[in-house]
Amino acid sequence: MSGAGAWEKFPKVDLHRHLEGSIRLETLREIARSYDLDYPIDDLPRFRTMVQMTPDQRSAEALLAKFAVLRHFFRSEEIITRITREAVLDAAADEVRYLELRFNPVALSAHNEFTPAQACRCVQNASALAAVDCGIDVRLIISINRSEPERAHELLDIACDGVKEGITGLDLSGDEVNAAAEPFIDLFDRARSAGLDISVHAGEWTGPENIRFAIEELNATRIGHGIGILDDPDLISLARERGTLFEFCITSNYLTAAIAVKKEHPVLELTRKHGLSTTLNTDDPSIFDVTLSDEFEFAHDHLGLTIEELRAMNLRAARHAFLDDGTRNKLITHLQQKYAENDNLPAKM
């Protein structure tokens, strides 16, 4: 990953990061070697095209294909433990002070002999230990794949069982072009009643209708990506009135063709002109070969977001974190104190 100089000292919040998209490239190669997986790990450029996005692969289909490949690497509880720990350590090294890590236990258990519940327990244990070791606050979100509705209630049960052990939210992800969200209405009602917060991938590769559905029918308080909102002024008004948070991921949105030109990402327009609640996130740092520092640097240098706006984004993210009020207030106070010290700003403004 490229790093972004002084931005690595800037305290940050990442609300939208997938565990399955956060695996170090060398770790994947070691797993493939250990389990004799049939991947060209000694041909690094070729191997990268199978597990990382490149500019010549820009499409939603290409990204979903990466996740299909990555499912084959989750071969043991030890591997789940390792990749979780490394994901937390990598976030902490990038000065992410609060991380919400989302994952799909079905994906983590698809090619091994343990259950989604066991996979989830591995993630819970490993993330908790890593968080203590590196002084970062980590919460977990269970992600349900739109294309696997038959596993949805199983995953909700897992999420509900883990509410007191790091799991704070439920997410709907996957192929929103070909898989509808309607089958999940009752499930998300039950999730909310159980005390889980709701984030939904919507409007990443479709128009505003999926975003409206997520807000009005699934009662999502946060939208993953949501690029499609630009096409509906009434929906922009609705999202602003409800205080819906948009989890934007600049590099991801470009490499999956959600936007055509990276330097024309709408986060600035939607924040300044339309007054939407927005944040910056990584999505899949390994798949997109990006850090949150990279995203902040790009937003500042190429999109025109100011230091003050980027600070405000982190504080906004903290206010929308899936936390209890006391913990959320501590996080906000911590960030405010760090920003007041003025020694964590990039040297070049």
Ranges assigned E (strand) in the chain: 12-18, 96-103, 137-145, 167-173, 197-202, 222-225, 245-248, 277-280
Alpha carbon 138 to chain centroid, angstroms? 13
Cβ–Cβ < 8 Å for 28, 87:
no
> For 283, which DSSP code?
B
Based on the number of CB atoms within 10 Å of its own CB, is 327 exposed (0-12), middle (13-18) or buried (19 or more)?
middle
Query: Which of these, 330, 251, 265, lies nearest to 1 by C-alpha position?
Result: 251
Cβ–Cβ < 8 Å for 114, 30:
no
The CA distance from 95 to 102, in Å, is: 19
> Angle between the 60-70 and 44-51 helix axes, to the nearest 10 degrees?
110
> For 19, which DSSP code?
G
End-to-end Cα, the chain, rounded Å: 23
Residue with tokens 């490993």: 126
Active site residue 204: yes
Cβ–Cβ < 8 Å for 191, 198:
yes
The phi and psi torsions of 327 (rounded to 5 degrees) equal -65, -40
In sequence order, the β-bridge partners of residue 248 are: 280
What are 64's two structure tokens?
């979903």
The CA distance from 99 to 124, in Å, is: 13
The phi and psi torsions of 277 (rounded to 5 degrees) equal -80, 120
The CA distance from 65 to 129, in Å, is: 31
Alpha carbon 301 to chain centroid, angstroms? 23
The one catalytic residue among 204, 247, 295, 297: 204
Which residues are tagged catalytic? 204
